Amino acid sequence: MKIYYYVAFLATLFLCINCKSKEEKKTTITSSEKKEEIAIKTPAKPIFSFSFVGCNRVNWNDTVDSIPSTANRGVLERIFKEMLAEKKQPELFFFLGDLVLAESTLPNLDTQLSAWKKLYEKNPISTSNIEMVAVPGNHEMLYGKKTASGKYKEYPLKGTTDIWMKYMGSYLPSKRDYVKGKDSIINQITFSFTRHNTGFIVMNTDTYNPPTTENPNGLEGMIPTQWILNKITEYQKNKAVDHIFILGHKPYYVCGIPKTDHKGLPEGPVLWPAMKKGGVSAMLSAHVHDYQRSQPGNEGSYQIVAGNGGSEGSATFFGYSTITILDDGNVQLISKGFDVGTPYNIVSDSPTIVRDETMLTWTKNANPYPCNN
């Protein structure tokens, strides 16, 4: 009988110790470990994705009558074909300016944009589920001329906004917000809209402004700054918006260096601090004929330059970039492309591969992208 009680006592003691150790183990698991454990069991799923690229126009000496759009047609069609072949197609495709060469007269712009639209509408991508959002560049908005000192400069060309809307107005989101009031017509190509949990602010980075005594030719690089700043604040306060992106043809940072001249944005010094304060994930741009990714100051907002759509420049590959919004709050960037041909307007037969892949973390990115420009 004593042996029976002794065995029962030991069994009870073992159960109590085991229960206690399990309880202690439970209390020592941190919240971060729980999140990590959950992440392992349930991988992040994509909410939606969008692609972007700009700068596909050919050089002045490479225009041909058979391609009146002045597009680098072979490269453009390969980009469209490969985007359509994606297993998970993007919901949106932003074409970030310099679709055509133009930058001269209104008749040239009219002819080239008309031809570009016809080229696009004949391509299978135009009837797909990928919605294109057209964004103007300096070659659509400005004209160039030599100054008294012999330098080539660009200035606002009156009437370009009307021609852009004539051909590209159907490629703007129907449910969008835009500048109201007396300047609404001039600023109509700057707008914002939301998709899922993401807010997009799209800028015309060369908004028309009339000549003045101080600036007899007007100024390039103008944007409706205050409206954009207000929109950042609005999206930041909107609980339904988890991510914000600003898109426009011209970047503020080129190879991590701020630019306020023709290469960049004069309003960049005002805009960028507001982006960081408002939690903007990235500014997505083109203009520079290259692919670049930088995180100025190694924290906060990113500058991504995707001007590798087919125009000659420093780009080593032509292609497109895609951002995927994940349900765990992360933002994934993947840039794909194929080698630039020789010359640039001959499509190379090199395979398309991933050229850059990272998460757009708010803290210092552990996977920096080198800039060779």
Is it the case that residue 30 has pLDDT exceeding 50? no
Count of Cβ atoms closer than 10 Å to residue 166 Cβ: 13
> Is the domain of 351 the same as that of 202?
yes
Query: Does some domain include residue 364?
Result: no
> Is the domain of 76 the same as that of 183?
yes
What is the per-residue pLDDT across 302-327, written as a single tens digit (0 to 9) for each? 999 999 999 999 999 999 999 999 99
What is the per-residue pLDDT across 212-236, written as a single tens digit (0 to 9) for each? 999 999 999 999 999 999 999 999 9
pLDDT for position 3 = 44
> Is the domain of 55 the same as that of 202?
yes
pLDDT for position 66 = 95
> Is the domain of 74 the same as that of 129?
yes
> Is the domain of 23 the same as that of 127?
no
- Give the pLDDT band of residue 151 (cuts 50, 70, 90): confident
What is the per-residue pLDDT across 91-114, written as a single tens digit (0 to 9) for each? 999 999 999 999 999 999 999 999
pLDDT for position 83 = 98
Closest CA to 305 of 244, 229, 360, 371: 371
Query: Does some domain include residue 197?
Result: yes
- Give the pLDDT band of residue 149 (cuts 50, 70, 90): confident
Query: Does some domain include residue 373?
Result: no
> Is the domain of 32 the same as that of 88?
no
Query: Does some domain include residue 117?
Result: yes
> Is the domain of 21 the same as that of 59?
no
Query: Does some domain include residue 43?
Result: no
- Give the pLDDT band of residue 50 (cuts 50, 70, 90): very high
Query: Does some domain include residue 367?
Result: no
Domain that holds residue 17: 2-36
What does the alpha-carbon distance between residue 50 and residue 323 come to, in Å, rounded to a whole number? 6
What is the per-residue pLDDT across 234-292, written as a single tens digit (0 to 9) for each? 999 999 999 999 999 999 999 999 999 999 999 999 999 999 999 999 999 999 999 99
> Is the domain of 20 the same as that of 111?
no
pLDDT for position 216 = 93
Query: Does some domain include residue 369?
Result: no
Packing angle, helices 106-121 and 160-168, rounded to 10: 10
Count of structural domains, the chain: 2
CATH number (domain holding residue 264): 3.60.21.10
Residue that has been written with the tokens 């100054």 in this structure: 147
**% helix / strand / coil in the chain, to the nearest 5?**
30, 25, 45
Query: Does some domain include residue 229?
Result: yes
Q: What's the Cα-to-Cα distance from 99 to each of 18, 113, 116, 169, rounded to whole Å?
A: 70, 8, 8, 14
> Is the domain of 9 the same as that of 117?
no
Is it the case that residue 123 has pLDDT exceeding 60? yes
> Is the domain of 135 the same as that of 26?
no
User: How far is CA 102 from its chain centroid?
Assistant: 23
> Is the domain of 113 the same as that of 20?
no
Q: Taken in order 340, 342, 346, 351, is the CA torsion positive or negative?
A: negative
pLDDT for position 12 = 47
> Is the domain of 155 the same as that of 180?
yes
